[in-house]
Amino acid sequence: MEYGIETFGKTVTQKFVVAIRKKLGSLLQFPDANPKCRFIDSTENKTYRNIILKSYYIVYMVKGAEITVIDIIHQSVSPENMKDRIEK
């Protein structure tokens, strides 16, 4: 968050964090409401999905009843680099 504050200022960063939390809040009730992430292959046991917020992908994984937020990635990141970041 400090990088965000240094770059964008406290107010903009706080608003962005609030927007992220709001989007993530609906995951418990509707984990499959967002599209599958087209850059990362899902498996039978794990589904990778993304939420688009401004110029960012919030990438998360659904595995049974478990939901894990993997990363928040700017849309300018190439699909190959995105896949590498997620699969580490």
Residue 42: per-residue pLDDT: 92
Helices marked H in 1-88: 2-8, 10-25, 79-86
**In b/e form, how buried is each residue of 75-85, taking b as 16+ CB within 10 angstroms?**
eebeeeebbee
Cβ atoms of 60 and 67 closer than 8 Å: yes
Residue 44: the pLDDT is 93
- What is the reported pLDDT for 3? 55
List the pLDDT tens digit at each of the 88 positions of the chain: 445 667 778 888 888 889 999 999 989 899 999 999 998 999 999 999 999 999 999 999 999 999 999 999 989 989 888 888 777 6
CATH of the domain spanning 2-86: 3.30.2310
Segments making up each domain of the chain, as ranges = 2-86
Size (the chain), residues: 88
Predicted model pTM: 0.83
